[in-house]
Amino acid sequence: MFDMVIIGAGMAGSVLAERFAAQGKKILLVERRRHIAGNCYDEIDDNGILIHKYGPHLFHTDDVDVWNYLSRFTDWQVYHHHTKVFIDGKPVPLPFNFNTLHEVFPKSLADKLETALLSNYEYGKKVPILELKQSPDKDLRFLADFIYEKIFLHYTEKQWDLPPEKISGAVTARVPVFIGRDDRYFNDRFQALPKHGYTTLVKNILDNKNIKLLMNTDFNEVTELRDGEIFLFGQKFDGRLIYTGQLDELFGKKFGELPYRSVNMKFETINAEDFQEAPIINYPNNYDFVRITEFKKIHPVKTDRTTILREYPQKYISGENEPYYPIFTDEARTAYEKYSAELAKYKNITAVGRLAEYRYYDIDDIVKRALEVFDALNE
């Protein structure tokens, strides 16, 4: 009945389902949740505001192919994201940039630090904070220590429950100092949101008669791996299985659980037209939560109330909460490699995505990755 089984109706699984279905292949798309779009899922809440149920997802890319592909399935609302961070009792621009310098330091010191940054780095460059800490310039080391203590250290410890030095540079590089005055959080060529939300975008992607969607179903209810072979509904399956879930679960956690971080998402209605001065404000210190999102500032709508989301990082516990972020440590990578070696025994299984590949992807990255996998499987 099916040429291919895809596990997971998030962005990776949905893009791959659409690409192969467009070739005429019959696709069974299996999703454990009761909705499509994975962690990008959004919906209108009781206040009439479009909220992102699993935390804010903001689309940005420099990749023309990714932009053109998604543009086939959605109109866009131009959106340039601005974030602030709470330092010494007030919110200031993030990433830390020249504007931030002048908000947190006296003018003479801010001018001195700005000159030092321009003398050492190209204008428009993003400098990872841990790199700045190694600078031979004592003024830049002072700045790095300030940012490290006020923004980076405690936020990272809360988010990951690990000291920053234990975390992969791929994560720490995501918190840079920007050499310039651009307050936007992203500097990509294309910055926008799907006009009617991510759920509608994915629904449009999956609108193909060759895709059979099976929701509220775990992959192991329909598939089984046995001695290097795949069984679908109890029958040997010779087609391809594309898997986007947790790789340790695919193999029954035979090498132990891969570690993840989870987040307790707490939504709240505020009886006021607005709550804060930016769509997202980060709280590195003195609070258990790491940030507050006000969705009305992401998806503008005229209402008397507003919806906010506080995010409380927590340990991932299988069956109790969601695995949001793979933990990028050397120990975790070693554990993942055992599962990767097991996967290699199955020539017709392809693992794609944040959970399956145990790496972080932005939305544009995962769409690009799915398109690359599609091309590779067609070679």
Q: Residue type for 152, please?
A: F
pLDDT, residue 83, reads 96
Please write the tens of the pLDDT for every residue from 96-139: 999 999 999 999 999 999 999 999 999 999 998 888 989 999 99
Burial code (b: 16+ CB inside 10 Å, e: under 16) for 300-312 equals: eeeeebbbbbbbe
Query: Residue range 264-290: average pLDDT?
Result: 96
Domain ranges of the chain: 4-36+206-257+327-377, 83-178
Token digits for 370? Answer: 């799915």
* Per-chain mean pLDDT for the chain: 94
pLDDT, greater one: 168 or 85: 85
Cβ density class 164-195: b for 16+ within 10 Å, e for less: beebbeebbeebbbbbbebbbbbeeebbbbbe
**Please, what is the end-to-end C-alpha distance for the chain in angstroms?**
24
Looking at the DSSP bridge assignments, the partners of residue 235 are 232
- The pLDDT, as a whole number, for residue 152 is 84
CA atoms lying within 13 Å on the CB side of residue 272: 7
Which option is the CATH number for 4-36+206-257+327-377: 3.50.50.60, 2.30.40.10, 3.40.50.720, 1.20.1250.20?
3.40.50.720
Q: What is the pLDDT of residue 189?
A: 96
- pTM to 2 decimal places: 0.94
Task: Write the DSSP symbol of residue 3.
Answer: S
User: What's the pLDDT at 174?
Assistant: 61
Taking each helix axis as running N to C, give the angle between helix 11-22 and helix 363-377, from 0 to 180 degrees, rounded to the nearest 10: 40
Residues sharing a CB contact under 8 Å with residue 178, sequence separation 6 or more, in sequence order: 95, 96, 97, 124, 125, 126, 127
